[in-house]
A and B are shown apart, each in its own frame.
Chain A
Amino acid sequence: MTAPFYRYGLFGDDTSLVFAFVIGLGFGFFLERAGFGSATKLASQFYGRDLTVFKVMFTAIVTAMLGLFWLGWLGVLDLSRVLVLPTYFTPQLIGGLIFGVGFVSGGYCPGTCAVAAVTGKMDGWVHLAGMLAGIFIFGELFPLLANFYSSDPMGAATLDQVLHVPYGVTVFLVVVLALAGFLAAERIEKKLQAVH
């Protein structure tokens, strides 16, 4: 049996929706557990008080990245059938900057505002409404944005290809970077707590 199971035809589209719901259950559960249903908690990341966002995100990325690497190495998972979204460099850079401004102003990201809303945060509902409005504005302006949206296409580019470093070495470097980041995060938090 080879993974990804869906791509190898182990089940069809209707069953994939059941898995979508179950995977979402786990996703929403851990977002709420981490404290990501709270805007004050999320926004603290950008004032240096509480670096939970960084720690959770990079632990999740490293966990999944190492899992993919080892399962691929063992031959259980066919990495060539794992989806890598295509890169469009400049629109993704500008989109990220706009998104970041929205994140610290609004206090949530798209997934966490849904979790915040259903757990009773009124500002989560307002953020959700604002997000739908923002998507609608993008949709209405799309004829003007279409050229920029599709600019700088790089295909399914990955860091190891661009840096000309073997996949395993890149994975190792990301782990080292993350561990250094965690150490720094713990130090920054301790320092700022001592100040207050």
Chain B
Amino acid sequence: MSGTTKPYMNPYFAGIGLGLVLLGSYVIMGRGLGASGAFTSVVAVGVQSLAPAHAQSSEFYKEYLPANSNPLKDWLVFEVAGVIVGGLISGSLAGRMKRVVDRGPNATPNMRFTYAFFGGALMGFGSKLARGCTSGQALTGGAVLSVGSWTFMIAVFAGAYAVAYFVRRQWT
């Protein structure tokens, strides 16, 4: 990389781009995007390999472990593989591939890692309770006017604004 980082895309243009990808998914597949579902497949496969009997007896993991095929040969798993490569392509073209801990100027890496881990855990838990995340519910369900998706989206913003003040140290 030359070290010059390109600015981010205009948010409205990036939104139109994302919206057209989502529309394309609906036209081609009849379904939208997702992310947390693919990571649930990964967790289910992990549990299956460590404790097969436990995984098979769970109503939750069983949904992600089809009997006759590889559980990772799944639509969302392939889609998230694409997300990873797509992110890599965009990051490389813009010169944004840098090994950093993204944090506020006064925050230490360990403080940021602690917030990231526990925040990630809450998010993983919340996405399962809500049957999807910002991709599978907010964007995908939002575009087809799903009541649950709009409820989820408003709750996400409410929850985040409510505690923003208390977790501000890592960003300042």
Contacts and interface: CB of A to CB of B under 8 A. Distances in A.
Interface in A112-141: 112-116, 118-124, 126-139
Given A39-B116, A118-B91, A17 B78 contact: yes
Nearest to B124: A134
B27 A3 contact: yes
A126 B117 contact: yes
A122 B108 CA distance: 13
Contacts of B102: 38-40, 107, 116, 121, 123-124
A101 to B, nearest CB: 5
Given A4-B28, A134-B122, A105 B167 contact: yes
Interface in A61-88: 61-65, 67-68, 71, 77, 81-88
Contact of A33 (B14, B144, B147): B14
Contacts of A35: 8-9
Query: For chain A, which range describes its interface: under 10, 10 to 19, 20 to 34, or 35 or more residues?
Result: 35 or more
B123 A83 contact: no
Contacts of B84: 24, 28, 114-115, 118
Given A25-B82, A114-B87, A55 B11 contact: yes
A38 B61 CA distance: 31
B119 interface: yes
B4 to A, nearest CB: 16
A94 interface: yes
Interface in A122-178: 122-124, 126-139, 142-143, 145-146, 148-149, 154, 156-160, 162, 167, 170-171, 174
B129 interface: yes
Nearest to A7: B30
Contacts of B171: 40, 43-44, 47
B143 A103 contact: no
Given A110-B36, A130-B117, A135-B128, A63 B29 contact: no
B160 interface: yes
Interface string B114-154: 01111111111111111111111111111111111111111
B124 A132 contact: yes
A110 B120 CA distance: 8
A44 B120 CA distance: 17
A93 interface: yes
Given A64-B20, A98-B159, A154-B148, 5 more contacts: A24-B85, A43-B171, A100-B126, A106-B122, A159-B150
28 contacts: A3-B26, A3-B30, A4-B26, A23-B24, A23-B25, A24-B80, A24-B86, A25-B82, A27-B79, A28-B83, A28-B87, A33-B17, A61-B19, A61-B139, A64-B143, A89-B148, A92-B131, A92-B152, A99-B127, A101-B126, A104-B119, A104-B160, A106-B116, A115-B86, A120-B96, A122-B113, A138-B125, A159-B146
